[in-house]
Copies of this chain bind each other. A is one copy, B any other.
Amino acid sequence: MFELDVRSRKPIYEQLVERLKELIITEVLKANEQLPSVRMLAQQLTINPNTIQKAYRELESQSYIYSIKGKGSFVSPATLKQNSEKIVKVKHELSKLISEALYLGITADELFKMIKEIETTVGGGIESDQNQ
């Protein structure tokens, strides 16, 4: 199901996130389909369950999947795919604007603050992933 490059400079959990996103977006993994459990996948890939867990947590925070204690992790239905075109578009526009902003001397720090402010103002945001 997965191929990972363990000796890559990219951390394993990031590779996992990318690969899974791809599978979800392309609907190889369908809505509400159950993902392999953290332990199963860990064993299969001969890495630590916690690494899978980190990838899953990341995917959940980006609402690609949802997890239920004791039951499993599942592909998020609809909403994401419905918006996927818009999302791609917005991301692209954002990239350009961010590049321009950085070029103009606005610092990444400044942008971070901006986002946090908007996040709390709009209230729509999901809280972010504080790595242990």
Contact = CB atoms under 8 A, between A and B. Distances in A.
Contact of A98 (B58, B64, B109, B118): B118
Contacts of A115: 98, 102, 108, 111-112
Contact of A107 (B79, B106, B128): B128
A94 interface: yes
B83 A108 contact: no
A128 B114 contact: no
A108 B90 contact: no
A91 interface: yes
A116 B98 CA distance: 10
A28 interface: no
Contact of A62 (B83, B98, B109, B124): B109
A86 B116 CA distance: 22
Contacts of A4: none
Given A63-B105, A107-B125, A112-B128, 5 more contacts: A61-B107, A62-B107, A80-B105, A87-B104, A90-B104
Interface of A: 21, 58, 61-64, 79-80, 83, 86-87, 90-91, 93-95, 97-112, 114-116, 118-119, 122, 124-126, 128-129
